[in-house]
Amino acid sequence: MRRQRSDSRSAYVFILPWLIGFLCFTLFPIVFMVQQSLTNRKLNGVSKFIGLANYKNMFKSAVFWNSFRVTILFTVVMVVVTTVWAVILALLLNRKQKFNSIFQFCYFLPSVVPTVALAYAFRTIFGKNAGLFNNILSTFMGHTVEINWLYQKNTVYFVVFFITLFTYGTGQMMLIFRSGLADVPQELYEASSLDGATFLQKFFHITLPMISPLILFNAVSGCVSALNGSFALLYPLTSENGDPNGMTQVLSLLIYKEAFSNMKVGYACALSVVLFLVAAAFGGLIFGISKKTVYYED
């Protein structure tokens, strides 16, 4: 009995640093954000309680609803695109071939570049006048090409989602999928080969079910990354206004604009509460879907 109490105290002592960190750096900021969303706090610190006025103004705002739709679109497409791309790279790296480690290094290399630096590099590549991509097209087409890839309605999404393939999240997913593919029992592939299964049949009936827990993990982490990390990628590319015409203004950009350009910190906190709820809804939805689609070995 005395030994059991001693073990319990030891467990509480070990968990105490995490608990203090959670209370100070997670729970307290969330509670403070919710409290500030009920005020008209300005950037200079002046604050007055106004109840739900920020939320009423938000739900009447066309800018908010546009940003909300863009956030949902950006999150869904980014998670799908990066997850599929990471699976393809992992499958390529899982093949037995020479210089595999070099290929893995090359595939992962863009992922270690800070997101802001990566965004500025691609902004230069897809620039209108001196952009590398326009210069390449001009060389092949025989005339000057001056397309503003990041500021035209019909090209901006293509460019933005293309750039997401080189972010840290995609590289991390690729490594996780690679380790998962290495653990798939080869006997399953050998048995299916004897039965005459094609590559696609093996992929959909063996590979995907076996790595489905990793897909769930990467989908959740990718979703959180898209919601919270989109600011570092999109701000250097399309500014806080989400050009062109707010097509890329996700909620994190709108929060920054309201807090630091319009100095409406209370309103920005209300937007942050909505972003928090969106992230929670995405997490709940993915876990709900996973109950029927994820395979766990007994």
pLDDT at 292 over 80: no
Mean pLDDT of the chain: 88
Mean predicted confidence (pLDDT) in 206-211? 90
In this prediction, residue 160 has a pLDDT band, given cuts at 50, 70 and 90, of very high
Nearest alpha carbon to residue 229 among 74, 125, 42, 96: 74
In this prediction, residue 69 has a pLDDT band, given cuts at 50, 70 and 90, of very high
pLDDT at 97 over 80: no
pLDDT at 2 over 70: no
Highest mean pLDDT among 1-10, 57-66, 150-159, 179-188: 57-66
39, β-bridge pairs = 49
Mean predicted confidence (pLDDT) in 283-293? 83
Check residue 72 and give its pLDDT.
Answer: 94
pTM: 0.86
Task: Name, in order, each residue with C-beta under 8 angstroms of 166's C-beta and a sequence gap of 6 or more.
Answer: 110, 111, 113, 118, 122
pLDDT at 293 over 80: no
pLDDT (tens digit, 9 = 90+) per residue, 108-122?
A: 887 788 888 989 999
In this prediction, residue 129 has a pLDDT band, given cuts at 50, 70 and 90, of confident
DSSP symbols for 132-171: HHHHHHHHHHSS-----GGGSTTTHHHHHHHHGGGSHHHH
Check residue 229 and give its pLDDT.
Answer: 80
Mean predicted confidence (pLDDT) in 252-260? 94
Check residue 228 and give its pLDDT.
Answer: 80
Check residue 225 and give its pLDDT.
Answer: 83
Task: Name, in order, each residue with C-beta under 8 angstroms of 58's C-beta and a sequence gap of 6 or more.
Answer: 64, 267, 270, 271, 274
